[in-house]
Amino acid sequence: MIDWMIIGKIKKNEPKIRFNLNLNCTKCGKNVPGGMMTSKNYFGSYSFMLEVDNFKKNYLCGICRDKKRINDKTDK
């Protein structure tokens, strides 16, 4: 089963669009599945494009994300 990450807000009865992004971890470069979901109205809008671009630039895989969380806890 694919878990879909949600981009933007989806209202209760609004039609949804599912799509895949080519995602790579920005730290280790690992290719990860990119199943995404958004509302039909939001898909393709300028703010949608900005959000996806920002998401791709800051994406960390689970391993790198966990390492960052551990390092952040030990730094405090």
d(CA 44, CA 48): 6
Tokens for 54, please give them: 């920002």
d(CA 72, CA 55): 21
Instruction: Indicate if the pLDDT at residue 76 is higher than 70.
Output: no
pLDDT tens-digit series, residues 23-54: 899 999 999 887 899 999 999 899 999 999 99
What global pTM score does this model have?
A: 0.75
Q: What is the pLDDT of residue 10?
A: 87
